[in-house]
Structure 1
Amino acid sequence: MRALELGFPGEMRDTLNSLVLTGAKTATTCLLDEYAEETEGLEYVGERQALLDNEGRRVATLEFIGVEVKLFGDVTWEHARAEGEGDASLEAWCDVHRRFWDRAGTPVDDRTLVVCLAFRVVADG
């Protein structure tokens, strides 16, 4: 089973995992280029992955219910809101994600291809 690690290790990952486990976070967004860098295929609807904590332990099993490749500028408010991170608007979500990827060394603009993933928790730890 493949695995998913959300955000940066540490407090951010703890927070994001907690949002998943409480049901507040049912989506995430990845850069398409990262799949090529990691020589990894896209997720597919029905695929299950282990959600990992900071120590690499499985905290849940996720099942993907939606996978879409689109331009960063075309991400919808519906998807952004499903990320459950408390952003007040699509513009706020975009700003937070631009800062995240800038910090990771991969600046994005509206033409950057992203993968919008929707999921549900099918098993805890």
Structure 2
Amino acid sequence: MLVTAVLDGRKTATTGLVADYEHGDEALPEIGERSVVVDSADRPVAVIEITSVRVVPLGEVDVAHAMDEGEGHTTIAQWRADHEEFWHGQEMRSALGDPTFTVDDTTPVTLERFHVIADLRTA
């Protein structure tokens, strides 16, 4: 579903936890970085380029960003509930090495915007 949303232009944004980057000792995304999008069979389907990166407290994410994630959210409450379910899940808590990890309005998140620069399905 998300790959389709990227390819048809409904998904042009994503959100990440700064804590996830820090725990993995990874640099935050940067404007101009490119990534390959893969489908569920791990086949490359597109190349995207980051056009904007902001770090903000979770409480400052706006509905425009939520809608641009292309997952059908029309309110911040919907978006936040879905993201908190994932961020508070066992997989994320294990990845962060913190079985009690939770987010609140002050938790720093990365807001990325991107666009497709190559559709690899036709290449």
Gap regions ≥5 residues in structure 2? 94-100
Q: Aligned letter for 2:103?
A: V
Gap regions ≥5 residues in structure 1? 1-14
Q: Which is worse superposed, 21-30 or 46-55?
A: 46-55
Q: Aligned letter for 1:110?
A: D
Please tell me whether the aligned partners of residues 63 and 74 of structure 2 are also in contact (alpha carbons under 8 angstroms). no
**Is 1:121 the counterpart of 2:107 in the alignment?**
no
User: Matches of residues 1-125 of structure 1 in structure 2 within 5 Å?
Assistant: 15-103=1-89, 104-105=92-93, 106-125=101-120
Q: Aligned letter for 1:121?
A: V
Q: Aligned letter for 1:43?
A: P
Inter-partner Cα distance in structure 2 for 1:110 and 1:77? 15
TM-score by length of 1: 0.81
Q: Give 1:88 shift.
A: 2.1
Aligned-residue RMSD, C-alpha: 1.4
SS in 1 for 2:116: strand
Runs of at least 4 residues off by over 6 Å:
none
Q: Aligned letter for 2:22?
A: A
Q: Aligned letter for 1:124?
A: D
TM-score by length of 2: 0.82
Higher RCO (CA 8 Å, separation ≥ 6 residues): 2
SS in 1 for 2:16: strand
Q: Aligned letter for 2:5?
A: L
Distance 1:74 1:22, change over 3 A: same
SS in 1 for 2:88: helix
